[in-house]
Structures are given as C-alpha cells and as structure tokens.
Amino acid sequence: MRLLLVEDDIMIGEALCQGLRMAGFEPLWLRDGAAVEQALETRDFDAILLDLGLPNKAGLEVLESIRCNGNRLPVIILTARDKVCDRIKGLNMGADDYILKPFDLDELAARVRAVLRRQSDDGTPCLQVGGLSLNSATHEATWEGRRLMLSRSEFLLLETFASRPGLVFSRAQLEQDLYGVGQSIESNTVEVHIHNLRKKLGPEFIKNIRGVGYMLSRRACSPGAVPAARVSASHRPVHVAA
C-alpha cells in the first residue's frame, strides 16, 4: 500500500518512513505542502499522512485543495495540535482520522489499515485497466479473472504503470516509487523487475521508450489481449512464481 507522507521534520519523517516500510507500506516522503498537488497528479496513493505545520502551504490548505478537487483519497492528519477545536476542524474539512503526536507506530499502521478497510467497504473499486485488475489493499493481481502471482516489487511496479496507462515513467521515477527517496539500490534493479513482468505478462505489456523510460501499453491491456504466460495447449489458469 502506497502512502504519501507529508512531514517537514527530518527526524520524524525518517523515523516514519522506516517504521512504515517495516509495517509493509511504501511511503513517499514530501517536506513541503506545495509539492502535494504535483505528487497526486503523477502518482497514485492509497492514503495521505498529513502534518499540519508545513512550509509554503499549510496542512489544512492542502486538505482543502484535495477535497475541493473531488479527491476522496483517505487523509490522516498527524499533528501535535491537541485542542478539540483543531480536531473538529480537521475532521469537518474532510480528514478521515486525526492522530496526535507523539504516537505509536504500530497504532498508526493499524489506523491506516482501518481507514483503508472502511474505504473498501464503501465500494471503492480496484485499479482496473482492461482485463488487468490490481487490489492495492491485498496485493492481489488478476488478468481477466485469473490470479497472477507477483512479487511485492513486481506488483508495485505494475501498479505504477497501470495507474497511468500510456504515460512514460523514467527509471528514476520508478526507483523512487519502489524504494523511496535516498535509498541505495543496484543500477539495474528496475530493469530486472520489468524483465520478469514481461516474462509473466508478455513482451507487449511494458514498452521501452528509448532515452525516456517505460510505459504500459494500452493495446496490451485491452480486453481480449492474451499475455504470453497464458498461451498453452490446455489453456489452464496462470500460476506464476514470484
């Protein structure tokens, strides 16, 4: 599950990123409220963890912009502002939860999952592109109703592509989505994951735009397209090893 963490305090941000990864989340950390809008335009997230005292654009302003744009993405406020009036204001403006600092990381993880469960119960659809369906809450992937067995990194990479079919992602963008900012990784890690996805879904699913990056092919994900991994004489369901 991908979280957008908006927190200007370096020590708190680093600790939260580490704790959230250990809890199975994939955080993208921003320190400036004004950067949130661009992040939401270029990437998909499951929820936002939002501090209130942010530079350039305050947290409540960020929340107001999100809701005014019709975005129902869950927002959890993380703040030291403990007055009842502040909590009421944040919740009335559209926050899904309001957590006071300091807090326990295990409790934060539990409350994030609770918010996401409530959203799922409200009928929020899975990410769907043609015959491809991805459920970020359960990390389940299916192709025309048949389950695909993907590794964690493969699922996250496919989710990034499926969130913007036809949009080209640079390797740097994909690395940041997979591992966050400032993480040390091997230079060919993204290419390895893309190679594995192509083996499982077929070479036409992910296109290489030379000198620019990679994109999910709309044609490959159109209904009726058949991944190479499914082509067999018996037409049995796909079960691909992670």
User: Which pLDDT tens digit goes with each residue over 182-203?
Assistant: 454 566 788 899 999 988 888 8
For 181, the token pair is 């900012």
Cβ within 8 Å of residue 130, ≥6 positions away: 218, 221, 222, 223, 225
pTM of the model: 0.58
Report the candidate in 229, 198, 227 with the shortest Cα–Cα distance to residue 215: 198
Going from N- to C-terminal start, the domains of the chain cover 2-121, 127-230
Ranked by mean pLDDT, the top range of 5-14, 65-74, 79-88, 213-222 is: 5-14
Average pLDDT (73-98) is: 91
Asked whether this chain's domains 2-121 and 127-230 adopt the same fold, the reply is: no
Higher pLDDT, 189 or 65: 65
The CATH number given to 2-121 is 3.40.50.2300
Distance CA 238, CA 179 (A): 28
Question: pLDDT tens for residues 132-149?
Answer: 888 876 778 887 777 888
Q: Which CATH number fits domain 127-230: 3.40.50.300, 3.30.200.20, 1.10.10.10, 1.10.8.60?
A: 1.10.10.10
The answer to whether 39 and 3 have CB atoms below 8 angstroms apart is no
Position of tokens 């939002």? Answer: 50
Most confident listed range (48-52, 94-98, 136-140, 227-231): 48-52
